[in-house]
Amino acid sequence: MDNNWKVFEERFCRHLDELKWLYIELYGNEAMFDELCDSMRRFYEERNEELKISDLEREAQPDWYKKNDMLGMMFYIDNFAGNMKGVRGKLDYLEKCNVNYIHLMPFLDTVEGRSDGGYAVADFRKVQEKLGTMEDLEKLTAACHEKQINVCMDFVMNHTSEDHEWAKKARQGDEAYKSRYFFFDDFTVPGIYESTVPQVFPTTAPGNFTWLPDVGQYVMTTFYPYQWDLNYKNPRVFNEMMYNFLYLANKGIDIMRIDAVPYIWKELYTPCRNLPRVHTIVRMMRIISEIVCPGILLLGEVVMEPEKVVPYFGTVEKPECHMLYNVTTMATTWHTVATRDVRLLKRQLDIVNGLPKAYVFLNYLRCHDDIGWGLDYGTLMQEGIGEVSHKQYLNDYFQGYAGASNSRGELYNNDPLTKDARFCGTTASMCGIEKALSEGAQMGAPDLEQAIRMDVMLHAYMFMQSGIPVIYGGDEIGRLNDYSYKENPNKAEDSRYIHRGAMDWKAVSQIDDETTVAGKLFSQLDRLEKIRKNEKVFMAEADTWTIETWDQSVLCIGRYYEGEKILGLFNFSEYDKTAWINETDGMYVDMISDRPMKASGVNIPAYGFYYLKKQDVLGGDQV
C-alpha cells in the first residue's frame, strides 16, 4: 500500500464505526453502504496531488481558516466578469480587495427562466455553458490557490431542477426515479403537510406542492414549482448526492455552502425544518469529507433563529458544519440602522459572543437573498414593539417612506395574509448613497457624505464582529440597486434581482481617486481590511464582548487576543454622540487616524467609528 492509501485507510478506519452506525440506522442497507465506501475510495483516487497535499496541511492545522486575514467576497460569475475565464483575469483585483475567499454564486447547469438564480440545478456535473466548462472551473480554482484564494460554491442538495435527468425520468413514470422525489396522487397527504409546513415564497411560489398535469400527480416543491424536493429517505439519493459533492470537491473547491440545509428531511405533521435526521445527514457529509477531502470546509446555510442555527455546528466530538451564517445579527444590524437603537443588537452580539469559540460565524451586511426580519421579538415586545407593526416599519423605512430614512429598495414576498414582507436592496442604496446621487449630490455634499460614512461604519462594525466577514461583491465600490431586472420577464417577479446587478468596472477604474464614491469607499474599506489583516486581535477565535456605552445609538465591541486589546465604537445615528465608556487600563490609539486617545467619554461624530487599540505599556509602544 503506497503512502496515499495509508492516509486514506487511516482516515477511513478512524471514522468507519460512526459512519456505518449512522448510515445503517438511517437506511439499514449494507449494500448501499458498501457502494458508498467504494465510491469514496474512487473519489479519493481521483483527487489530484495538489489537493491531497493541501488536505494534509489543513489536517495538520485544523484552525487554518480562523485567521484574521480571512476575508470573503461573493459574486455572480456573469455579473462580475462574464465567465470563469473572466474571473481568472480579475484575480488581481480580488487581491487588491484583500479578499482570500471567493464565493462563486451558483454556476451549475440550469434552465434560463426556471433557475432561481442558479439554485435549480439541472446537472451537478456540468457548468452553465455561458460561464464555461468543468475544465475552466478546475483552472480557476488552481489559479486561485496559487494566490492563496479559497473558492466557495453552492451545493444545492434539497432539490433538483425539474430539468434534471432524475426528474425527467420520474416524470416519464420511472418508479426508481420517482422514489427520489415526493409524489402524491391527490392532495390528501400534501394537505396534511400544508397544515404544518410554512411557506418559503408565499407570493412568488405559494404552497409546498405543485400539480403536474402531464403526470396527474402532485410533487413536493418547497421553493419554486420547478425545484423538486429530493427524498433523502431513499439511500440512492443520499449516495448519489454525496458522489456529486465529492466530484465537485475534486474540482478544487475549498468551501461547500450547503444550501437550504434545514429543509432536507421531511416528516408529516412537522414543519419539515431542522428535523433530527438533517443532522444525521450533515454529520455523515462531514465524515465523508473528512475521509476523502478533509481540506474542505462546510458552510451551512441555515437562515433560522439562533437556537436553530447553533446545532448545525454539531458538538466538539461530532462536528457538523465548520461555519454558519450569522443571519440574526445581520437582520438586527439593519433594525439598528432603522431605529438608531443598538440595544437589541448588543443583546444579539452577547448571545453570539457567549458561544464556544470553536464556532465560526460568517458575518455579512448583504448577500444575494432578501433580508427576512427574523429579530428577537420576545425582547422587542417588552418595549411594546409588536412583530407585525415593526416589520411594517422596517419595510417602510428601508423603502424610504418612514422615519428619517434615506434608504432605497423594494419589498420581497409581500404576503397579504401574514403581512410578512422581506426586503431587498444593496448596502449602498440602503445607506442613502442612491438617494443622494439621484438628487444630484456631488462629492462633499452633506447627504452623500453621511451616506458614505454610514456605509463605511457598517463595514467597520462587521469586521469587528466575532467570525469571518464576507463582502457582497460590488459593495466595496458602492454598487446601487439595479432596477433593470423588471424588464427581464425571467426575473421581473423576483425583486432579489435588484441587488444582483452587474459589476461596474468603470467605477472600479476610479478606486484610486478618492473624489469619487467608489474611490472613497474602496480606500476606506481597504484601510480597515489591512488593519484587520495585520492585527492578530482580529483572529476568529479572539475573545469578543460588548461594553455598555450609556448611549442608545453607540455600540462598543471589545476584542482581546494574546495580550492585545481593541475597542470598536460605532455611532449608528446622524447625531454626534458620546460613548460613556470608562476603560482605565491605559492609553489607546485610534488605529484609523493614529491619534492617541483615552477610552473614556469618547465623542463620536455622526455615523463615525473608532478602532481603539490599547497601547502596550511594557513594550514601549505607549504614546
Q: Which residues bind ligand GLC (CB under 6 A)?
A: 116-117, 119, 156, 223, 259-260, 301, 368-369
Given the complex with ligand GLC, which of 23 and 223 has the nearer CB atom? Answer: 223
103 or 390: CB nearest ligand GLC: 103
In the complex, minimum distance from the CB of residue 131 to ligand GLC, in angstroms, rounded to a whole number: 17
Q: What is the DSSP string of 310-321?
A: GGGGB-SSSB--
CB of 303 to ligand GLC, least distance (A): 6
Let me know the angle formed at the C-alpha of 335 by 330 and 336, rounded to the nearest 5 degrees: 95
Q: Which is nearer to ligand GLC, 105 or 144 (CB)?
A: 105
Cα separation values, 595 from 175, 269, 401, 557, 568, Å: 72, 61, 40, 19, 15
The dihedrals phi and psi of 498, each to the nearest 5 degrees, come to: -60, -30
E strands present in 389-496: 410-412, 422-424, 468-472
Short-list 368, 299, 347, 369, CA closest to 546: 347
Residue in the block written with cell 461604519: 457
d(CA 487, CA 471): 27
137/260 with CB nearer ligand GLC: 260
Give whichever of 108 and 612 is closer to ligand GLC, judged by the CB atom. Answer: 108
- Minimal distance in Å, beta carbon 228 to ligand GLC? 12
Task: Please name the helix (run of DSSP H) or strand (run of DSSP E) that holds residue 292, with its range, or none.
Answer: helix 276-292
d(CA 554, CA 570) in angstroms, rounded, equals 5
Assigned C-alpha cell, 389: 407593526
Cell of 53: 497535499
Task: Give the DSSP H/E element, type plus range, for residue 211.
Answer: strand 209-212
d(CA 8, CA 234): 27
Please give the full DSSP string across 472-503, using - where no structure is assigned: ETTGGGTPPP-GGGGG-TTTTT-GGGGG----
CB of 160 to ligand GLC, least distance (A): 11
Helices 276-292 & 30-46, crossing angle to 10 degrees? 40
Taking the complex as a whole, how short is the minimal distance between the CB of residue 549 and ligand GLC, in angstroms? 35
* CA 453/CA 524 separation, integer angstroms: 10
Closest CA to 323 of 275, 363, 370, 375: 363
Active-site pick, 259, 410, 434, 494: 259
In the complex with ligand GLC, the residue whose CB is nearer, 35 or 415, is 415
Closest distance of CB 432 from ligand GLC, Å = 26
Q: What does DSSP assign to residue 623?
A: -
Instruction: State the cell numbers at 552.
Output: 442608545
- How many helices (DSSP H) and strands (DSSP E) are in the chain? 22, 23
For ligand GLC, the closer of residues 392 and 414 by Cβ is 414
**Cell 420547478, located at residue:** 226
Amino acid at 524: Q
Grid cell 469571518 in the structure block, residue: 468
Looking at the Cβ atoms of 136 and 301, the one nearer to ligand GLC is 301
Beta strands in 171-251 (DSSP E): 183-184, 209-212, 217-220, 227-229
Q: d(Cα 172, Cα 214) in Å, to the nearest integer? A: 9
- The minimum distance between CB 269 and ligand GLC, in angstroms, equals 24
Compute the 3-state secondary structure of the chain and give helix, strand, coil in percent, each to the nearest 5: 40, 20, 40
Between CA 350 and CA 362 the distance in angstroms is: 16
Distance of closest approach, residue 270 Cβ to ligand GLC, in angstroms: 20
> Annotated catalytic residue: which of 136, 254, 301, 529?
301
Grid cell locating 565:
486589546
Strand partners, 298: 256
In the complex, the smallest distance separating the C-beta of residue 27 from ligand GLC, rounded to whole angstroms, is 25
Instruction: Name the residue with the smallest CB distance to ligand GLC.
Output: 119
Nearest approach in angstroms of CB 278 to ligand GLC is 15
Return the number of the residue (33 or 263) whose C-beta is nearest ligand GLC.
263
Nearer residue to ligand GLC within complex by CB, 44 or 119: 119
Q: Nearer Cβ to ligand GLC, position 349 or 470?
A: 470
Confirm if 433 and 452 have CB atoms less than 8 A apart.
yes
Residue 300 beta carbon to ligand GLC: minimum distance, rounded to whole angstroms: 11
Of the candidates 458, 441, 504, the one whose C-alpha atom is nearest the C-alpha of residue 335 is 458
301 as an active site residue: the answer is yes
Residues recognised as catalytic? 259, 301
